Amino acid sequence: MEQSANHSPINRLAFIGNYLPRQCGIATFTTDLCEAIAAEHSGTTCIAVPVNDIEGGYAYPVRVRFELTEKDLESYRRAADFLNINSVDLVCLQFEYGIFGGRAGSHILALLRDLRVPIVTTLHTILREPDAQQRRVLMEVAGLSDRLVVMSKRSAEFLQEIYHVLPEKIDFIPHGIPDLPFVDPSFHKDLFGVEGKIVLLSFGLLSANKGIENVISALPAILAKHPNVVYFIVGATHPHVLRHDGETYRFSLQWLAQEKGVEGHVIFYNRFVSFEELVEFIGAADIYITPYLNPAQIVSGTLAYTLGAGKAVISTPYWYAEEMLAEERGALVPFHDPAALAEQVIELLDNEAKRHGMRKRAYLYGREMIWPQVARRYMESFQRARAERRHFTPPGFVVKPLDERPAELPPLKLDHLRRMTDDTGMFQHAIFTVPNYHEGYTIDDNARALTVSTLLEELGSEETADLMPRYFAFVWYAFNSKTGRFRNFMSYQRNWLEENGSDDSHGRALWALGTVLGRSNTPALQNMAGWVFEKSLPAVIDTTSPRAWAFALIGINEYLQRFAGDRTIAQAREVLSGRLAELYRKNRTDEWRWYEESLTYCNAALPHALLMCGQGIPNSDMTEAGLESLSWLGDLQRAEVAGGHFVPIGSNGFYQRGGERARFDQQPVEAQAMVSACLEAHRITGDRSWYKEARCAFDWFLGRNDLNLPIYDPTTGGCRDGLHPDRPNENQGAESSLAFLQAVLELRLAETTLASLETGA
């Protein structure tokens, strides 16, 4: 008899998420789910696609078939290709913001968009108050998924109320747990040499949000009543915490235990324990404690494990604990309250009948959470996803033509950036690809480099993490606190060649600082940048250069995207944008829609700044002026040939109103300025033609120009210094190379915005 279409076999499943032996909760969950489904459904082949956060990855089992590199966007696209051509019937994604590259884990979207099979996504974090990026990413993940799995009822409510997901798309499946026997704690205590002791337990990867210090602070009161209590803290420090902060938190807990005089009752087991070891630790515990500090925790694997093992549990009232420990399956105590915690521990130890009743209710509740049950429910969700995909999706795979999808971007190559950087900062010029020491350094180029390294950080890359503080240090050192201005030129011998730099270099430094403040998540740089930004901003008000105003305004708008309530900075924006808008009103005619009597350099920065201000203030007249002037500039800088490639205003004479326009020398900064401005217009309007305009300007770097010769050098990662009438300038200086890098990075960041607009997410 032929099998029903709604229940056709799933022959090949792929699980995307972290995977053991990587040490984290998502890795444990993904591995357990994958193995449980493989055990329950022997006819289904299960493969895993884990995410690597370290170079070289991990010693994975044979079930792992493809490895993602967390920060490498291209690896996500390659993974989609791999899954599409390997006859995978369905993908089960484990979504958590922090495990995928890009802002709020946005790199995973590149994979999901290219998949041709149904997707069922388990959501491990659902924020009640997401920022704009977190909301956008989760909504697009939801839109690209055929079904969403949540592990708590509150998660389902948040999805519907905050992210507008239809309830019929959501499956509630509890967190899976091992099927452990209901045993007396004394059975395992001899394994740890604590026979006759009362064991309190907390386990999991250690980090400062776990609240372990509150349990240690509660111990003196507990020991006064029950002196035979010991407290086990089981688990290694979280690998990410260990890489950035070392064992600082663990040391602080040890010092606290000494201060409280309870060091003889606190036992640290500092390693990532195997499943067998974990079962023994849980078995030996009389009371399990989760003293987490953050109420906005929607799931906890450690709580699920101990509840299902029939442990008496005391927890702070984070969301998942409130739900799981309801109906007297556990006890809740307030956050940051060691006294209340001590009182609850003592009450459970004094009242054995209450403790054992709590244990029994917890154990019975957990029977529906054991992995075989959970695996069956996941397979039901997978079948629903396949049935719905067949019902709502036309058969076959429609390939988008080139004009309906973003063209590929060159891979990032930062060799030349590093070659042009020494311990002081970024060199200004190069002779071919060799740094030119004679020309020294400028704040212009180090500000550009700081902007580029901040964009790299935003994309999730750590390749310039060591260079970003170096560029910032140059900007910091360039600030002359006596004049409130930045110096610009420095010799190779580290001598400043002036007291104050140009107005434009001052504005560009403010642009870079505003970008750091608006986009970077490096606290030390943010704190320092905030001070310099505040001290250097007043000086730009006294400048007369429209480009200095525009550069500063772009930085101000970057800053205000994160700190919108800063009235002083907002007032500076109003002053400078008002001047720029007034210039446009004075000089604009139907034939000359521009701010000045000439077009010179970085022209697109002027409409770019006005567009940002029009949106941020808001001021519709500024937005309209920005769009009108940028459109006019785009038409002016387009070749009158088929395809209409980008032709920037040449620097050898520029373009005076009523005069003859210079065709050469064409400079990379003009292409970068046009890319940046058009992407801003695209963000504001959602009009895809602006994205195409940005790509047209970017393609100038790749050879779509007057000479059909590439300006970008893929062998070095640098960019040639411009286009002469007969050849490119073969020197690869800082300004040009950074212009290319900024353009390609901004396009990479814009890719997700474009895809979101197209999918309606």
Q: Which two tokens stand for residue 231?
A: 């407290």
Give the neighbor-by-neighbor strand order of the sheet with 12-16: 45-49, 12-16, 90-95, 119-123, 147-150, 170-172
* pLDDT tens string 390-416: 544 433 444 444 444 456 788 889 999
Q: Which two tokens stand for residue 345?
A: 């521990």
Predicted local confidence at residue 330, as pLDDT: 96
More confidently predicted of 592 and 405: 592
Give the domain range for residue 140: 5-176+372-392
Question: Has residue 432 been placed in a domain?
Answer: yes
196 and 158 both lie in a single domain = no
* pLDDT tens string 87-132: 899 999 999 999 998 888 999 999 999 999 999 999 999 999 998 8
Predicted local confidence at residue 752, as pLDDT: 60
* pLDDT tens string 498-522: 999 999 999 999 999 999 999 998 8
Question: Has residue 295 been placed in a domain?
Answer: yes
Question: Has residue 447 been placed in a domain?
Answer: yes
DSSP string, 115-153: --S-EEEEES---SS--HHHHHHHHHHHHH-SEEEESSH
* pLDDT tens string 686-733: 999 999 999 999 999 999 999 999 999 999 999 999 999 999 999 999
388 and 473 both lie in a single domain = no
Question: Has residue 409 been placed in a domain?
Answer: no
> What percentage of the chain carries pLDDT values higher than 70?
95
> Quick one: which of 235, 247, 245, 231 has its CA closest to 206?
235
Measured in residues, the chain has a length of 761
* pLDDT tens string 304-346: 999 999 999 999 999 999 999 999 999 999 999 999 999 999 9
For the chain, the average pLDDT equals 92
**What percentage of the chain's residues is helix, strand, coil (to nearest 5)?**
50, 10, 35
Largest CA distance in the chain: 97
| CA–CA separation, 453 and 527 (whole Å) | 17
**Which residue matches tokens 């994979």?**
111
Calculate mean pLDDT across residues 22-31.
92
365 and 379 both lie in a single domain = no
**Is the pTM for the entire model greater than 0.75?**
no
User: Do 464 and 524 touch, CB atoms closer than 8 A?
Assistant: no
Predicted local confidence at residue 73, as pLDDT: 84
The C-alpha angle with vertex 253 and arms to 252 and 255, in degrees rounded to 5, equals 65
| CA–CA separation, 760 and 277 (whole Å) | 48
More confidently predicted of 194 and 550: 550
Question: Has residue 410 been placed in a domain?
Answer: no
608 and 681 both lie in a single domain = yes
460 and 493 both lie in a single domain = yes
Q: What is the CATH number of the domain that holds 267?
A: 3.40.50.2000
Statement: residue 244 has pLDDT above 80: no
More confidently predicted of 614 and 208: 614
Nearest-10 Cα torsion for 335, 340, 345, 346: 180
Statement: residue 20 has pLDDT above 60: yes
Question: Has residue 565 been placed in a domain?
Answer: yes
Domain boundary among 305, 337, 369: 369
Domain boundary among 334, 354, 369: 369
Domain count, the chain: 3
172 and 194 both lie in a single domain = no
| CA–CA separation, 721 and 479 (whole Å) | 28
Residues with Cβ within 8 Å of 626's Cβ and at least 6 positions away in sequence, in order, are: 607, 608, 609, 610, 611, 614, 681
141 and 197 both lie in a single domain = no
Buried b (16+ CB within 10 A) or exposed e, 670-707: bbbbbbbbbbbbbbbeeeeebbebbbbbbbbbbebbbe
Predicted local confidence at residue 754, as pLDDT: 57
* pLDDT tens string 127-146: 999 988 899 899 999 999 99
Q: What is the CATH number of the domain that holds 590?
A: 1.50.10.10
198 and 164 both lie in a single domain = no
User: Residue 177 forms beta bridges with which residues?
Assistant: 370
Question: Has residue 405 been placed in a domain?
Answer: no
Helix (H, G, I), strand (E, B) or coil at 45: strand
Predicted local confidence at residue 406, as pLDDT: 53
376 and 362 both lie in a single domain = no
User: Do 498 and 489 touch, CB atoms closer than 8 A?
Assistant: yes
497 and 645 both lie in a single domain = yes
Predicted local confidence at residue 486, as pLDDT: 98
**Which residue matches tokens 């050192």?**
477
Residues with Cβ within 8 Å of 396's Cβ and at least 6 positions away in sequence, in order, are: none
432 and 545 both lie in a single domain = yes
User: Residue 219 forms beta bridges with which residues?
Assistant: none
Question: Has residue 289 been placed in a domain?
Answer: yes
More confidently predicted of 406 and 271: 271
334 and 482 both lie in a single domain = no
